[in-house]
Amino acid sequence: MSKPSEKVADEIARLRDQIHYHNHLYHTLDQPELSDAEFDAVFRRLQGLESEHPQFADENSPTRRVGGAPLTAFTQVAHERPMLSLDNAFGAEDMVDFERRIKTRLDSQEPVSFACEPKIDGVAISLLYEGGRLVRAATRGDGATGENITENARTISAVPLNLMGDEYPYRLEVRGEAYMSLSGFAEMNLQAEAEGEKVFANPRNATAGSLRQLDSRLTAKRPLTMFCYSVGVVEGGTLPEEHSAILEALRRWGFRTNPLTEVVVGVDACNDYFARLQEIRPTLDYEIDGCVFKVNNIAQQVTLGFLTRTPRWAIAHKFPAEEGVTRLLDVEFQVGRTGAITPVARLEPIKLAGVTISNATLHNMDEVSRLGLAVGDMVKIQRAGDVIPKIVGVLPELRDTDSREVALPAVCPACGSGIVQPEGEVIARCSSGLSCSAQRKESIRHFASRLALDIEGLGDKLVEQLVDEGLIETTGDLFRLTDEPLVALPRMGRKSVSNLLAAIEDSKQTTLTRFIYALGIAEVGEATARNLAMHFGDLGPLRDASVESLQEVDDVGPIVAEKIASFFGQKNNQIVMDQLIALGVQWEPEIVETVPGPDLTGEKVVLTGTLRTLTRNDAKSQLQTLGAKVSGSVSSKTSFVVAGDAAGSKLTKAQELGVRVLSEQELIDLLEGG
């Protein structure tokens, strides 16, 4: 006869399997077999048994979907395989070029089979399973590093806690898009409004905010779901040889995949799919902003490979932006972290693609002049990529007689210092530097932001308080903060202060990419910061780099190189960096992974003319991966020049200097190990 504890364990296991099964029917297949009351009875029985017998607790029990105790902070997750972004197509011609590049690289004119699916406007996440059990979930982050959101992911009913069947690999990473249905989002906002709580602007923002809740019990209340679209790490098993068959396997193992996914042959069929999806877009209960097309054959995907940040075998075809007409009520001027004075349009509110828009960026005064804009005008508004609102035109025939010209202010709206506009630049700037309170606040906000040092709890309002109270003037002052001055601030109790100081201490362990981005160098975004880190390896060589050597970095041209060199050449910036390092901010030097091919370390290469097989960026990326420095100018120190069709003055100069010249085919042979 079995022991009572064994009977309890057996019943708990049976109930968990039963609930997993019915959750799958309801949330993945939309084919429920139990009524809500019947399901609730089974669920309550399991909750009761787990409460009475805590020795049988299991983190993957379906009862864990209600959320557990709050976390103090998110931990970082390094993706074993990068979560790359996609190149974009904006028309049928871009799609034709996409197919042509694929056929050229495959050296085949056979029709290409594509897997087509809607591009969900949500948040990309990664789910890692070991032995069929969910062990970790993470956000995409910057593609290389994300945040551990396992506790929040467990609350999403469409995320399997245990895989179904027994044919899955032992270690399997599944990637997908978390999102909110439009109906669920509307219902959530109605409830929030009725309870006097904050309402969200759109489903995507609501999804991102829900996934980053430290208290997973709050996430559990949000109507989150997800569609899976690919796999990452696969160990201890094999997958089918076609992308569409992999999606079918994921469905068998319990994942939701988009029912509108199709396999078509040729780019014309892709464009037809795009047109059909655009037509039914208004009827869908979730937001999409385009279609994704992937080469269906996995072996061909491997042959096509990757560029620096994107796969060659996939592309996102974006829908045209939505437009509307409204009135320009005013133009205000904001001060950015680099002192840039940016005009911002204040609009009569208008609803586009489900979002109410009342502000739009105008970038700079050249843009204002180009548009011929006056306050009071009726203007055409567009959501670029269905995300960023901007003014794309004016309706002068509707202009009122009392409209007024938009003029750049003479002094900074934040500190009253003079505004300067260097010759040849379109951006006007405050002349006072970090003594301007707006620049100081913005630089500190940027330094603490998620993609920079990611200091949890250091929000905009707290930064303003710290600067206004004179507790910090530079980013280095953050690491000198102590308990007592912080506790004296409004709404800052001992616990909040303790959490903030712990987060500041944790932020000292960072990466070179994050540190470079956190410095707030003009024109240096997340991608450029990563390129600089990978190219120079550590901060010392970057600080000493000349304008010429900076231009050897991918995506760094002459203007950006000048701005970077100028930043590192300023004594105040050098002092702040030295202080940050002295105060304990540190990172491991970047290590560039080696790839098959010749060692071109130290070789200086120039590309000129039109390359027919390789794109210019493709050739540059491959050469840099092998250690070469790709320059924009020929000198006696150039190792060789690659000359494509219609090569001009650079080829002539190389011949005059006696520099070796390679054809495109010779370059391809070299890259392949010749």
637 labeled part of a ligand binding site: no
CA 513, CA 519: separation in Å to the nearest integer? 10
251 labeled part of a ligand binding site: no
Question: Is 595's pLDDT higher than 70?
Answer: no
Work out the pLDDT band at 387, boundaries 50, 70, 90.
Answer: low
Q: What is the pLDDT of residue 443?
A: 87
Give me the residue label for tokens 């009569």. 348
Mean pLDDT confidence for 83-90: 86
Work out the pLDDT band at 150, boundaries 50, 70, 90.
Answer: very high
Ranking 33-42, 129-138, 474-483 by mean pLDDT, the lowest is: 33-42
Question: Is 596's pLDDT higher than 80?
Answer: no
The continuous run of DSSP H or E covering 668 comes out as helix 664-671
Mean pLDDT confidence for 288-299: 94
Q: What is the pLDDT of residue 2?
A: 47
Q: What is the pLDDT of residue 510?
A: 93
140 labeled part of a ligand binding site: yes
Give me the residue label for tokens 């920079």. 452
Q: Which residues contact 76 (CB under 8 A, 6 or more apart)?
A: 141, 145, 146, 147, 148
| Domains with residue ranges and CATH for the chain | 4-57 (1.10.287.610), 87-318 (3.30.470.30), 323-420 (2.40.50.140), 433-506 (1.10.150.20), 512-582 (1.10.150.20), 604-671 (3.40.50.10190)
Highest mean predicted confidence (pLDDT) among 167-171, 518-522, 594-598: 167-171
Active-site pick, 103, 119, 390, 461: 119
Q: What is the pLDDT of residue 604?
A: 87
pLDDT digits (tens, 9 = 90+) for 331-385: 999 988 778 899 999 999 988 766 788 998 888 888 899 999 999 999 998 875 5
CA 210, CA 204: separation in Å to the nearest integer? 10
Instruction: Determine the distance from the C-alpha atom of residue 25 to the mean position of all C-alpha atoms in its chain, rounded to a whole number.
Output: 32
Who wins on pLDDT, 31 or 560?
560
Cβ burial, residue 393 (10 Å; 0-12/13-18/19+): middle
Q: Which residues contact 669 (CB under 8 A, 6 or more apart)?
A: none
Cα Rg of the chain, angstroms: 28
Work out the pLDDT band at 229, boundaries 50, 70, 90.
Answer: very high
Look at the alpha carbons of 216, 220, 222, 226 in this order and tell me if their dihedral is positive or negative: positive
Highest mean predicted confidence (pLDDT) among 47-51, 205-209, 289-293, 601-605: 289-293
38 labeled part of a ligand binding site: yes
CA 42, CA 57: separation in Å to the nearest integer? 17
Highest mean predicted confidence (pLDDT) among 242-251, 419-428, 487-496: 242-251
370 labeled part of a ligand binding site: no
Work out the pLDDT band at 23, boundaries 50, 70, 90.
Answer: low
For 624, phi then psi, to 5°, come to: -65, -35
Question: Is 100's pLDDT higher than 70?
Answer: yes
pLDDT digits (tens, 9 = 90+) for 411-427: 999 888 888 887 777 88
Work out the pLDDT band at 165, boundaries 50, 70, 90.
Answer: confident
Question: Is 178's pLDDT higher than 90?
Answer: yes
SS3 letters for 220-265?
Answer: HCCCEEEEEEEEEEEECCCCCCEHHHHHHHHHHCCCCCCCCCEEEE
The continuous run of DSSP H or E covering 190 comes out as helix 182-194
DSSP codes, 534-583: HHHSSHHHHHT--HHHHTTSTT--HHHHHHHHHHHH-HHHHHHHHHHHHT
173 labeled part of a ligand binding site: no
Q: What is the pLDDT of residue 608?
A: 85
Mean pLDDT confidence for 69-82: 78
555 labeled part of a ligand binding site: no
Q: What is the pLDDT of residue 30?
A: 54
Work out the pLDDT band at 670, boundaries 50, 70, 90.
Answer: confident
Mean pLDDT confidence for 585-614: 76
CA 46, CA 56: separation in Å to the nearest integer? 11
CA 118, CA 316: separation in Å to the nearest integer? 9
Q: What is the pLDDT of residue 435?
A: 65
Q: What is the pLDDT of residue 1?
A: 42
- What tokens appear for 144 in the block? 């290389």
What's the mean per-residue pLDDT of the chain?
85
Residue type, 478: L
CA 71, CA 216: separation in Å to the nearest integer? 8
390 labeled part of a ligand binding site: no
612 labeled part of a ligand binding site: no
Q: What is the pLDDT of residue 252?
A: 93
- What tokens appear for 13 in the block? 């296991």
561 labeled part of a ligand binding site: no
Q: What is the pLDDT of residue 316?
A: 93
Who wins on pLDDT, 589 or 234?
234
39 labeled part of a ligand binding site: yes
Note if 119 is an active site residue.
yes
Q: What is the pLDDT of residue 38?
A: 67
619 labeled part of a ligand binding site: no
Q: What is the pLDDT of residue 112?
A: 95
DSSP codes, 353-379: TTEEEEEEE--SHHHHHHHT-EET-EE
Task: Provide the whole-model pTM.
Answer: 0.54
Ranking 268-277, 428-437, 558-567, 658-667 by mean pLDDT, the lowest is: 428-437
Highest mean predicted confidence (pLDDT) among 291-295, 465-469, 487-491: 291-295
436 labeled part of a ligand binding site: yes
Question: Is 18's pLDDT higher than 50?
Answer: yes
Residue type, 488: A
